[in-house]
Structure 1
Amino acid sequence: MIVRKLRLKRGWSQSQLAEMAGVTTRTIQRVEQGHRPSLETCKALASVFEVDLSLLQPEDEPMQNDTELKADEQRALLYAKRMKEFYEFLITYVVLGAVFLVVFHGEPVVYIIFAGLGVGLIVQGLIAFEVVSFMSPGWEKRLAEKKLGRKL
């Protein structure tokens, strides 16, 4: 939270800040951990830091937007991870394919192995490009709702 940044910027300990603001050290710890401070605590801290009270007062709306943003970020990171895995597999498939074709040219077992790996590559590509949503976050949520017997 901003209180910790302001405190560290001034080089104060939690106990020093608590003494100057007229609150307990535990109150400072709770505020720094993200707990909602009372109006009196906010006024005392604003006075000590010489900042506007609105800077220290938490608002409900941004917290909800942050939660939604984090869910969006998680989906984006999952998508990026799947794409990375797909391209790694594709590069491995191409490099090993070239090496094995040169070394084992004409052996039918090589063609069978790479046909199987090719099918795996296609499936992974479909999952990475979200054509098939196998074990997606939505799937996990539906499974959890089914287990609980209620909506999350």
Structure 2
Amino acid sequence: MAKARTIGVAVDFSATSKSALKWTVDNLINKGDCLILINVQPLKSDHTRKDLFEDTGSPLVPLEELREMNFTKQYGIARDQEVIDILNTASNTKGAKVGAKVYWGDPREKLCKAIEHLHLHSLVVGSRGFGPIKRVLLGSVSNHVVTNASCPVTVVKGNPSSKR
């Protein structure tokens, strides 16, 4: 039996990140693996939990708490039933342990730090497929993470119609 791994998925609740999460559950997750949903909120957000955990990110939140409305209110994250359904599939049919962690700041930096904090074996990110001009102006989170990560990174391309 293969050794259990810890796999992170960057999720901002866009269609592209949901595709990356679904791809991860369908293609990477094995029984006993730990799947961690990683969300990075803007630094300017003013949720009470940010003051407590701005430097380290939130505590690791188990799937049971993710299902509750209170979690979404505490961290300023919209409750997304599609994401919960995908995570339930990972837990129920794949036998994965599922949790989430919220960070605040620049997604490029925080995702690279999450790899170290969470001891990830792999990270999956979505790509909105910006063209060269938008990529220069807005930056590419996936490109930065691929270049700077200390673990393997899989970039799941989104459909052109799923850009946010």
TM exceeds 0.5?
A: no
Per the shorter chain, which TM-score range?
under 0.3
How does the TM-score come out when normalised to structure 2?
0.22
How does the TM-score come out when normalised to structure 1?
0.23
Greater fraction of residues in helix: 1
Greater fraction of residues in strand: 2
